[in-house]
Each structure stands twice: as C-alpha cells, then as structure tokens.
C-alpha cells in the first residue's frame, strides 16, 4: 500500500509548510500558532522545526526524524480528503493526515486547547 503514497511521502516539508502558513493566516490565525500545533504533534523544538524546513526534508524524513509523536495524537479523528483519519492503516500517512487535520482545525478558528487535545 505504501507505493500508493510515495508521491506524498516524497513531498518536501519546506514546500508544504508555506501553504499551511497561508491557510491559517488567511483565516486570522498566526504562524506562531501553526508552529505550536506542529511542535505539539511532532515533539520538535522551534529550532528543530526550522532546521527541518531549511534542510528540505521530505514529509517521510520529517516524521521519521520527529522526536516523538504526541501521546494524544490518536485523539485526532475526523475526515480529511474524504477519508476518516482513524481508518488509515498506513502509519506515516496517518501522521501526515493528523497534521493536515490540526491545520484545518486551526484555520477554522477552533480553540487551541481543543486542537491540542488538552
């Protein structure tokens, strides 16, 4: 099944990130809030996140090198791109969709406490 996702896995995080920034800023949220959400999910420090961006890491490398997926990440549920996140069998694709869902929630104005599952 992974071969179906290879194109997504090879996407460069530094090219996806500005799209996330644009999406949330267009809806009145900030880049700092976006960074907080990504750091919460992945365990990166701000410096570590910036290093991933400047080193042009693929999404696969970005998640492989992430310090630790947040223990509450499994609480991220719902539909993204027409697929229920909790039904995705491929672990890496599920992590990517977790991040997409968090960005969507931020852009939709959801409260940070809810986004961070606290």
Smallest Cα–Cα separation from 53: which of 40, 41, 38?
Answer: 38
Asked if the structure places residue 100 within a domain, the reply is yes
Asked if the structure places residue 93 within a domain, the reply is yes
The boundaries of the domain holding residue 98 are 2-112
- Look at residue 1 in the predicted model and tell me its pLDDT: 43
- Look at residue 81 in the predicted model and tell me its pLDDT: 85
* pTM flag (> 0.85): yes
- Look at residue 118 in the predicted model and tell me its pLDDT: 78
How far CA 33 is from CA of 30, 36, 64, 65, 110, in Å, comes to 5, 5, 23, 22, 12
Asked if the structure places residue 98 within a domain, the reply is yes
CATH number of the domain that residue 17 is part of? 1.10.8.290
Q: What is the DSSP letter of 41?
A: H
Taking phi first (over 0 means left), then psi (-120 to 50 degrees means alpha), and beta for anything else, what does residue 32 get? alpha
> How many domains are there within the chain?
1
> What would the two tokens of residue 32 be?
């700092």
Asked if the structure places residue 54 within a domain, the reply is yes
> What would the two tokens of residue 1 be?
């099944």
Exposed, middle or buried: residue 61 (CB in 10 Å: 0-12, 13-18, 19+)?
middle
Stretches in the chain below the pLDDT threshold 50: 1-2
Residue pLDDT, tens place only, 54-78: 999 999 999 999 999 999 999 999 9
């Amino acid at each position: 099944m992974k071969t179906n996702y290879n194109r997504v896995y090879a996407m460069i995080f530094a090219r996806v990130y500005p799209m996330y920034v644009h999406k949330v800023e267009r809806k009145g949220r900030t880049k700092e809030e976006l960074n907080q959400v990504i750091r919460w999910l992945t365990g990166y420090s701000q410096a570590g996140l910036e290093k991933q961006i400047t080193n042009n890491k693929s999404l696969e490398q970005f998640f492989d090198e992430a310090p630790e997926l947040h223990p509450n990440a499994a609480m991220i549920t719902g539909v993204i791109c027409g697929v229920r996140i909790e039904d995705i069998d491929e672990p890496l694709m599920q992590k990517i969709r977790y991040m997409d869902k968090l960005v969507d929630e931020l852009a939709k104005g959801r409260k940070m406490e809810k986004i961070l599952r606290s």
